[in-house]
Structure 1
């Protein structure tokens, strides 16, 4: 249920900017402020865990890419071996609910993000896509656990902006995940057991040529195993499993790889028997069944031809979810059934060639087909309602760019032109510009670009009762300027950013009298039944990020901290600007860690490690609780009452604060490396408000809280 809450006018907080130029001129001026290549700031330096295989470093597709090593995923607290949760420690990023890995990037909805695997666009690669949402409905952008195992990943990256021309279809963040090749010299095995799940991984050469390798990982959830053994978690059972595979073949002039990801998850809730226990909230009136299936298959290649490199690939991905909520007792309030699915076919082809001594030309094209649908069936009570929508649409994006280096300057200009099919038949020009000046101790980068993305979540809810082929694409104008420099052993960076979407989809939250409040698609996460996005408005996000990091794991303490100040806003009919759901005002994080290396009694290398993360942000915004008081025996739609947004997102969940701690011990033996680790998410057990909703059973507003202390014990063995 999305909640209905209070209404207040934003006239006292108006920011009147009369035109595109009036908004972007200050941003371009703010652009006279700068960035050190983002991959130079790390969580203690680029390194591997003791005894781990050294992997090829991530080559950023953009100087604005935040690179991270997979060893950081293993080492930092609260990641649960999920790269998305590691990204949540970067500046400008908010994990919207600590039950899941949905990420709001610089005030954008998580629906603005895109996942790429080996450079190819895929659907949401997560289990339990309904985790941490208000309605408990599935989303298109995140979930409880990533189905791509960290044991499969090589060093990867994340882009909040500064996309190269070959990357598109995202107006928020882009996850640039890379699968690592298996060992081509000998067979290796890994086993990992913990409160998240059980992993078994195998890798090694195929044949004797030393050119082909395999990498396979299987995982089953720990909670699923306990449920199979009859352990009761308060009537709730969560299960998931996944299988990952990657084949890699090296040739004299390049390589080719093939990959596959398959996963399934379920989340079932059995209402308590009122004869045995007291009902305390409306959820306990229902039995709820949820299932989530995922499939990703594809290949990628690169080959040197003459003086250039031809690269590309293809990926098919599909995710489907089913949720059935029905009263345990024979109540007239009825039943709610939701299904949604999305599949993507993505292909790209790119030619890159060096021109002269200092130039590089890139030319190519990307193709994307999206096919999906969503349906709601609300049965019982005073009415039966069936709502559905679907989409099948194509996009073709040719692109070209030229990069040159002259003295301390690196200049890159490009153009991506996206042709969207279906009834919109819309084409969007997407210019890209980056200018970088490198000095001995400092670097400045200016990036300006236009990115486009089809608004699937909003489009679904705009087309009930028919095909949703007319899901429009929106274009977002972005500019960022960053300045970074070294201050002794301390690396620092300041980044100013601004985004503007002039034709964002919007829904009307009607008010009494002639005025109405516009809810933009930038406030939408899960797809609910109470808003229809059939209007357009302008949205914007802007702010500043400050970051500093220093120390190295090999030298003692290491640390990385950041502070983001931001606003995310939607323009209203009277020209005023109202704060959006993810306008958290501030985001700050600090990570600190150290390792102590020594030897055990048998003179084997032994390492103890400690890592602490402190996370705080200004909370999530919401409207008022409903003005009416529904009866628990009335229409089931009353149990999805939603928020009363007629006066906007006027309330806040308040400052969110969470400390995470990770302790680990690693031992290196001649044939194995073992790691015993304890993760303590929210080690202080702080209560953070998640949302407020009107509970039809209690007949009053009720609060939901984020997770308290979550201990996760794990044990990992690597056989060499």
Structure 2
């Protein structure tokens, strides 16, 4: 901690030195990009692009390929207005122009339905609405600038989403997100139309989060987040969706990025594959900061030093009637938390336990977009995914050598082909359809040692990807606009799992009605379902006679019905009020065959393999609530975002008793605010702050006597019949961030200083039984925590 304080002082002195040493110089940059039709993705020639507030007025028009270029654009925050005959105007606000980096935009325009009379439509970029026009409710577009701006987000899109209504975090150490009381295992991550299992370091089997995200914010472009009643194209999901897109690299100029901060040391590069070819590449590599410090002999006093590295890349090659894209994501991580080395108890292991854990992920995909004509395009996607997670857990008596207790080493692979067809039949009617074929491979191994010498195998199954089970899905969805004020979006999806021939047919419906100049009512319904994890399907049951049976292989999908009703109001051009109320009924939830409190709906609330054997689809759950958002869009150099979520989340296990889910905090309130102060023409100070107040984490009380008598395994024993009946005190956390942005002639720099949990509020996350102290101890989350970040463009 002392080292961080010293570095913080040096950071502030360094920033002040630059602010006074640099002359107040006038630098300019290029803003360029392409303008396309939202539905067909075809370029729009002749569209007008205007840089507002410029003197003299800077404006241009797109060429036959829909491309535009504005030169001599001043640095700092700028605003563009794009217009085209027959289309709604599009405003691009708060573009941050760097001196050492061109700004390259991809702008989608929505066609008007009514052309015979003037229709006043708010053309501002609406973050409350998804970029995907098939969405109707519970959807929000977000910018990469928001992920970098929000205090406490650590430039992580998952942590950024925790600020949205209906979303809460599981704990400070991981970015698992809880949507409307659902398990984080119900979330779908999608990157460039490819479903990815868990794009985070230190990923555990069946989870969707981790301490550090692999997706690098420097490689992403504006994307969508959904919290319920999703469009038909999103299948095998019942909780929420991240639909992420990677930006194209600069196809005219080579640019470099360097960054050093708590998340890691990074180096990025982009540019044309060949000058004049319009093709491009984009690549970013990161290595963990704390591991570098350990190699340099600097000790931060943590119970384990996290090691991780990751790589994001994208290659883009345009053709006359299409575009070929090759993209990928890879990373690996590991950490050791050894109680045998006299480290303090951490939140993942009990006293007398040594933990070694890690994970790796490889995703690679080829995507070809083929433009049939001005109304229709297709996308073909072929991808391969491989993910591994391992956990080694040893136990020991004081003064004794650690002995094996638990081993988990699971590898899952997937080969996927996806086809998408999008057609705009008229100004009023458009459709999107597609299908996906997934083939799974796996190598699943779990071993336990009981009483040190009695070995028991619980899971040992493997198949190559060419022989594993298949999951087929398909969908079709229409958008019919009766006018610019009223539209409906019916759709239908299906899932078929080849392992046991389970089928799910899922109707979807969305309705949007602009009731006034600045108000709208929105409704959404969807039936959604999700297959279980491979580890669940192939969990072995070992009987007393030594026989083995896969008792979970016939499990069906976990199903959910979503109903959502929302109201939106633009109180002014830059102030929005949004509220939604929802009800979600979950059915066919896997629970244990024998009466117990276990349910898959609580998966992700604790560390380890979140599955059991002898499961049946007889559990239920329900989530309902109301959400409020009041947001001031970034204007006049400041913004704010406030959200309030009130909800209730219940489930029923095989014992027939209704309980709170592990994620039923009942309420979450967020308040964020930010201000930018320009100190010179080429420099600015940035201030951001965040406060979150939420209901405490649910937990199961410890059975003290049983824990004392558990001599063999040293496990804390919980009272199963009282599962999640207790709740910790309310969660409270305040974060701040101070940044300094400086533009030189050929170099742009950014210094940032963070403090998370500035009040040092103690937020409990777990309770464990301490055998040496013979008492129950509470484990707390992150305390006062300063961080630094430095970024340079050149």
Instruction: State TM-score, norm by structure 2.
Output: 0.78
| Uncovered stretches (5+) of structure 1, i.e. residues with no partner | 1-43, 131-137, 511-515
The 3-state SS of whatever aligns with 1:237 is coil
In 1, Cα distance between equivalents of 2:345 and 2:252: 60
What's the CA shift for 1:279? 8.7
Q: Does the 8 A contact of 2:203 with 2:358 survive in 1?
A: no
Q: From the superposition, tell whether residues 572 and 330 of structure 1 become closer, same or farther in structure 2 (CA, over 3 Å).
A: closer
Alignment match, 1:472: 556
Structure 2 unmatched runs, 5+: 1-90, 108-129, 463-467, 543-548
Query: Is 1:311 aligned to residue 379 of structure 2?
Result: yes
Once the two structures are superposed, the pairs formed by residues 177-196 of structure 1 within 5 Å of their partners are: 177-196=244-263
Q: CA shift at 1:45, angstroms? A: 8.9
Aligned 8 A contact 1:55 1:155 in 2: no
Q: Write the distance in 2 (CA, Å) between the matches of 1:80 and 1:308.
A: 40
Residue 215 (structure 1) shift: 0.5
Given the superposition, is the C-alpha separation of residues 577 and 360 from structure 1 closer, same or farther in structure 2, using an over 3 Å criterion? Answer: same
Corresponding residue for residue 432 of structure 1: 508
1:615 to 692, 702, 707: 692
Q: What's the counterpart of residue 580 of structure 1?
A: 661
Equivalent residues of 1:320, 1:339 under 8 A apart = yes
SS of structure 2 residue aligned to 1:114: strand
1:546 to 1:534, Cα distance in 2 relative to 1, 3 A: same
Deviates more, 1:450-459 or 1:427-436: 450-459
**1:106-121 pair list within 5 angstroms:** 106-121=180-195
Q: 1:327 touches 1:335 (CA, 8 Å); kept in 2?
A: yes
Which piece of structure 1 moves more, 159-168 or 229-238?
A: 229-238
Match of 2:75 in 1: none
Q: Distance in 1 between matches of 2:614 and 2:603?
A: 10
Tell me what 1:596 maps to: 677
- CA distance in 1 between counterparts of 2:156 and 2:385 reads 20
Give distance in 2, aligned partners of 1:431 and 1:56.
32
CA distance in 1, matches of 2:470, 2:647: 34
TM-score, normalised on structure 1? 0.85
Larger radius of gyration: 2
Which residue in the other structure is 2:414 paired with?
344
Indicate yes or no: 2:105 matched with 1:55.
Answer: yes
> Contact conserved, 2:481 with 2:488, CA < 8 A, in 1?
yes
Q: Distance in 1 between matches of 2:281 and 2:344?
A: 54
Query: What is the Cα deviation at residue 314 of structure 1?
Result: 2.2
Structure 2 partner of 1:718: 793
Q: Which residue of 1 aligns with 2:321?
A: 253
1:224 alignment partner, SS class = helix
Aligned 8 A contact 1:333 1:633 in 2: no
Trace 1:123-522 onto structure 2 (pairs within 5 A). Answer: 123-129=197-203, 139-232=206-299, 233-273=301-341, 283=350, 285-306=352-373, 307-327=375-395, 329-330=399-400, 334-372=404-442, 374-379=444-449, 381=451, 383-388=454-459, 390=461, 392-407=468-483, 408-423=485-500, 425-438=501-514, 439-456=516-533, 459=536, 463-464=540-541, 469-488=553-572, 489-507=574-592, 516-522=595-601
Secondary structure of 1:519's counterpart equals coil
2:720 pairs with 1:652: no
Alignment of 1:702 with 2:777, yes or no, is yes
The reply on whether 1:557 has 2:638 as its aligned counterpart is yes
Contact 1:458 1:521 in 2 (8 A): no
Tell me if 1:687 matches 2:752: no
Task: Confirm or deny: 8 A CA contact 1:116 1:176 kept in the other structure.
Answer: yes
Shift of 1:572: 5.6
Indicate conservation of the 8 Å contact 1:333/1:381, yes or no. Answer: no
CA-based RMSD: 2.6
Q: Relative to structure 1, is the Cα distance of residues 386 and 560 closer, same or farther in structure 2, using a 3 angstrom cutoff?
A: same
Q: How many residues align?
A: 653
By how many angstroms is 1:605 displaced?
A: 1.0
**What is the CA distance between 1:432 and its match in structure 2?**
0.9
Contact (CA 8 Å) 1:120, 1:347: kept in 2 or not? no
Partner of 1:133: none
Q: Is the 8 A contact 2:598 2:654 kept in 1?
A: no
Equivalent of 2:624 in 542, 547, 565: 542
Distance verdict in 2 for CA 1:575–1:645, change over 3 Å: closer
Question: CA 1:368–1:248 in 2, change beyond 3 Å: closer, same or farther?
Answer: same
- Whether 1:70 and 2:151 are equivalent positions in the alignment is no
Task: Report Cα offsets for 1:518-553 as digits up to 9, x if no partner.
Answer: 33211111445895461322111111111111152x
Corresponding residue of 1:16: none
User: 2:6 corresponds to which residue?
Assistant: none
Q: Over residues 151-210 of structure 1, what are the superposed CA-to-partner deviations in whole Å (9 max), with x where a residue is unaligned? A: 111111211123222211111111111111100010000000112210000000011334
Which structure carries more relative contact order (alpha carbon 8 Å, separation 6+)? 1
Instruction: Please state how far the C-alpha of 1:353 moved relative to its aligned partner.
Output: 1.1
Aligned mates of 1:279, 1:472 — CA distance in 2 = 39
- Does 1:87 find its partner at 2:87? no
- Aligned equivalents of 2:94 and 2:537: distance in 1? 44
Q: SS in structure 1 opposite 2:306?
A: strand
User: How far 1:397 sits from its partner (Å)?
Assistant: 1.4
**Which stretch shows the higher mean deviation, 88-97 or 486-495?**
486-495
Pick closer, same or farther for the CA change 1:453–1:474 going to 2, 3 Å: same
Q: Distance in 1 between matches of 2:644 and 2:535?
A: 31
Partner of residue 118, structure 2: none
CA distance in 1, matches of 2:493, 2:611: 36
Query: In the alignment, is the contact (CA less than 8 A) between 1:196 and 1:712 conserved in 2?
Result: no
Q: 1:596 to 1:234 in 2, by over 3 A?
A: closer
C-alpha contact (below 8 Å) 1:125/1:294 kept by paired residues:
yes
Report the Cα distance in structure 1 between the residues aligned to 2:230 and 2:790, rounded to whole angstroms. 38
In structure 2, distance between residues paired with 1:634 and 1:461: 31
**Cα distance in 2 for residues equivalent to 1:99 and 1:523:** 18
Deviation at 1:378, TM superposition (A): 2.1
Aligned to 2:753: 678
1:464 offset after TM fit, Å?
4.3
Counterpart-to-counterpart distance in 2, 1:397 and 1:711: 46
Distance 2:764 2:332 in 1: 30
Partner SS state of residue 582, structure 1: coil
Q: CA deviation at 1:486?
A: 1.6
CA drift at 1:557: 2.7
Pair 1:435–1:280, CA change in 2 (3 A)? closer
Report the CA distance between 1:457 and its aligned residue.
Answer: 7.7
**2:175 aligned with 1:105:** no
Shift, 1:354, TM fit? 1.4
Q: Contact 2:557–2:588 (CA<8 Å) still a contact in 1?
A: no
